[in-house]
Amino acid sequence: MKPMSKPEFIDFMAKDNKLSKAEAERSLNDTIDSIGKALAKDNKITFMGFGNFYVLKSKARTGRNPKTGASIKIKASNRPAFRAGAKLKALCNK
């Protein structure tokens, strides 16, 4: 399976939804930006059947540098996560 690049996905989205490439790109960019902004405000986004976007928080901790073995401090951080819904899983298993 070859990964689909963003421009390839925009082409696919435009053809599948009978949009111009510019409309498809604007729509995709706006959706990605809005999801990012909502997650930055610590919101969980739920699309029934499609899935959930949410933020995973990791606490600060002490780690090891694999080259030297020295202890290092790793800052607390947030990272986006996605859990697929039933409808999306079913589409992937056709």
pLDDT tens per residue, range 43-74? 999 999 999 999 999 999 999 999 999 999 99
- pTM for this predicted structure: 0.79
Are 47 and 88 within 8 A, CB to CB?
A: no
CATH 3.10.290.10 holds for 44-94? no
pLDDT at 94: 85
pLDDT at 1: 81
Q: What is the mean pLDDT of residues 25-50?
A: 96
State the burial class of residue 77 (Cβ atoms within 10 Å of its Cβ: 0-12, 13-18, 19+): exposed
Domain ranges across the chain: 1-43, 44-94
Spell out the residues 6+ positions from residue 10 whose beta carbon is closer than 8 angstroms to its own. 21, 24, 25, 28
SS3 38: helix
